[in-house]
Structure 1
Amino acid sequence: MFGFDNPAAFFLLLFIPVIYFLRYLKILSGIYFPLNLGDWNGRSFLWNKGFRKILSATVRVFVMAAYVLLVTALADPVMRITEKVYTSRGSDIVFVVDVSPSMAARDIGSGQRLDAAKAAIKQIAASNSGDSFGLVEMAQTAALVVPPTMDRKSFFSRLDSLAVGELGDGTAIGTGLSCAVYHLENSSSPKKSIVLMTDGENNSGSVHPHTAAKFAASKGISLYVLGIGKRGTVPLEYSDPKTGHVYSGYLESEFDGTSLSKIAAEGEGKYFEIDSMQSLSQSVSSVSKNENVVQTYFIKNNDRKLYFNFIVAAAVLCLLAWILRRLFLQEVL
């Protein structure tokens, strides 16, 4: 937020209309001695009246602008950035995101299923500003790519970089859930949860998803399963991150939320079927509401003083005005 610590300084701007009024009454006016010199054998001095008027007006504008900038500097401009500093922990939420090739299908809004998952995560993060977020990507295998953190910049940067096909073809739901549980079980947060976002059935990995879901429940970790997709023929296009080969065509989607709802039930959690942006928004609101934790915090102000910038700008304008008057108007100052 931009503001001023000494706004009373702006009363000095009243001198501008006062000076112009006094000059209009000829009470305050400059003294000029026009002097035309011509060399005995040289060319006589030529006065371009129109050009001089334009330059004189420009000089006056520069001087007036410099005065305004100096008054603004005296008003002590400041860029004030307020920041919440939390003194108690919020929820720890780990998102397990499917990056298998089928997540490139375009049947949720105008983007890929993976795009819908990213949008949901960002919406949850915006609603739970004091929480810590982690990220597990999952396909043929699973890996923690962001441990639970409140560093939104790092988290969103890695989230945006998720790409379909990074971990091969397959859906290791059990492995992804186990990885998330492993990094949450020792957390001291008052609430811990896993948000699984996938469009398929478990067909890879050595851990059964029901086993992983029960393990999460035994550790007091809430489970939310978001099944993203529709049945039928849907367009699909993506570029393989490893080979660069572009796959384009149609996917015969056999999306079935039955197995996903069973996983949620085994983990004593909730299942949401995402087949539109509206259902996505509703599920996100429910997750945000359930994981909200009342936290204590204080407001920290990070002030950035800007007066020096205005002084430098005023000095530049004064220098330009001097150059115009001395070199182009040929006035003796």
Structure 2
Amino acid sequence: MIHFNWPWVLLLLPVPWLFKLLSTKPVSAAIDIPPTMEHALQSLTGDTKNPVDIRQILLWLSWLSLLLAIAQPWQPGDAVVQPVSGRAIALAIDISGSMERQDFSFNGQTSDRLSIVKKVAGDFVIQRKGDRLSLVLYGKQAFIASPLTFDLPALSHILDSAGIGMAGRSTAIGDAIGLAIQTLQSDPAGQKAILLLSDGTNNAGSVEPESAAELASTLGIRIHTIALGSVDGELEGYSTAQSADLDEATLASVAEKAGGLFFRATSSDELQQIYTAIDELERAEVEAPPVILRNDLRQWPQAVLLLCLLLLASRQRLSR
């Protein structure tokens, strides 16, 4: 079914006839119409003394096409279901010096911690279609690598380009939580959460992790924490640099104070399972109503109008 944005414009269709009727009344009652306009109207409405010709048909088609184009016709298209929405999630990823430790493996190959996190967290990001995500990277300093965005591939690319030590080699967990809160605080989403990953202890920055967690709780923001590091620094029987500075107690306390969960990842498989579990915990359940796309049809009457004008112009040139 065809709809019009301005359907009332079509009421102007009989205007040429009305001018003809007025112009054929007795002189005493007739409206004075300029000769040029009268000539155009006679051409448009036709002269009773002469048979209808092609020129008259083209003029009527031009008039009808012009009105149709102005009325802006459109036709309903496909219904596009909006992705689930309503959640805002901030990822806080540790990129301190300890993340270069190679005590994880992927597909049988030894890998440093950050590379594994990029792979697993990147997959998590892409799966959150419909949600807005932000990214905070932190070492000695914390910085917002990406504000809240629906552009998940772009955020995943930013995460993938993160380098170990680019924010310093220490660990400012409290500052990272503070910045993550900042990216979420003004967002209207009803559900907000922070996913904090660290393999160390808070030894830099000016904000205590527990204090930041209490602030998040008052703002209705949950914090899930992930403590990363192999058990006793072992990888397939080989000893590596152990995560002696991993502060599981603080990370667990942060999660508890902010209404989230604490996780411990000692392998890439466990890290994958943790992000899968969090994905289910923070999954939105309500879909936005579908949006009906509009197919604009104005180009058709515009094309007919242009064709009619070209034919009229060519006939005028040939008649000379």
Superposition TM-score tier, normalisation by shorter sequence: 0.5 to 0.7
Aligned AA (2:277): S
Aligned to 1:163: 163
Q: Paired residue for 1:263, among 254, 273, 294?
A: 254
1:101 aligns with 2:93: no
Per-residue CA shift, 1:24-51, capped at 9, x if unaligned? xxxxxxxxxxxxxxxxxxxxxxxxxxxx
Structure 2: segments with no counterpart, 5+ residues: 1-77, 294-320
Aligned to 2:264: 273
The share of aligned pairs that are identical, in percent, is 28
Rounded Cα–Cα distance in structure 2 between residues aligned with 1:137 and 1:268:
22
Aligned to 2:280: 289
Report the CA distance shift for 1:232/1:87 in structure 2 as closer, same or farther (over 3 A).
closer
- In the TM superposition, residue 198 of structure 1 has moved relative to its aligned partner by 0.7
Structure 1: segments with no counterpart, 5+ residues: 1-81, 236-248, 302-333
1:105-124 pair list within 5 angstroms: 105-109=101-105, 110-124=110-124
Q: Is the 8 A contact 1:96 1:135 kept in 2?
A: yes
1:237-252 pair list within 5 angstroms: 251-252=241-242
Rounded Cα–Cα distance in structure 1 between residues aligned with 2:111 and 2:80:
34
Range moving further from structure 2, 90-99 or 253-262: 253-262
Report the CA distance shift for 1:295/1:211 in structure 2 as closer, same or farther (over 3 A).
same
Rounded Cα–Cα distance in structure 1 between residues aligned with 2:263 and 2:292:
38
RMSD across aligned C-alpha pairs, in angstroms? 2.8
Q: Which has the larger radius of gyration?
A: 2
Q: Is the 8 A contact 2:230 2:266 kept in 1?
A: yes
Report the CA distance shift for 1:151/1:218 in structure 2 as closer, same or farther (over 3 A).
same
Aligned to 1:187: 187
Aligned AA (1:258): A
Report the CA distance shift for 1:158/1:84 in structure 2 as closer, same or farther (over 3 A).
farther
Report the CA distance shift for 1:87/1:119 in structure 2 as closer, same or farther (over 3 A).
closer
Rounded Cα–Cα distance in structure 1 between residues aligned with 2:79 and 2:174:
39
Q: Is the 8 A contact 1:234 1:253 kept in 2?
A: no
Report the CA distance shift for 1:87/1:251 in structure 2 as closer, same or farther (over 3 A).
closer
Rounded Cα–Cα distance in structure 1 between residues aligned with 2:140 and 2:209:
14
1:86 aligns with 2:82: yes
Paired residues, number? 209
Q: Paired residue for 2:243, among 253, 256, 259?
A: 253
Aligned to 1:201: 201
Aligned to 1:219: 219
Aligned AA (2:94): D
Rounded Cα–Cα distance in structure 2 between residues aligned with 1:88 and 1:95:
19
TM-score in terms of structure 2 length: 0.60
- In the TM superposition, residue 251 of structure 1 has moved relative to its aligned partner by 2.5
Report the CA distance shift for 1:160/1:265 in structure 2 as closer, same or farther (over 3 A).
same
TM-score in terms of structure 1 length: 0.57
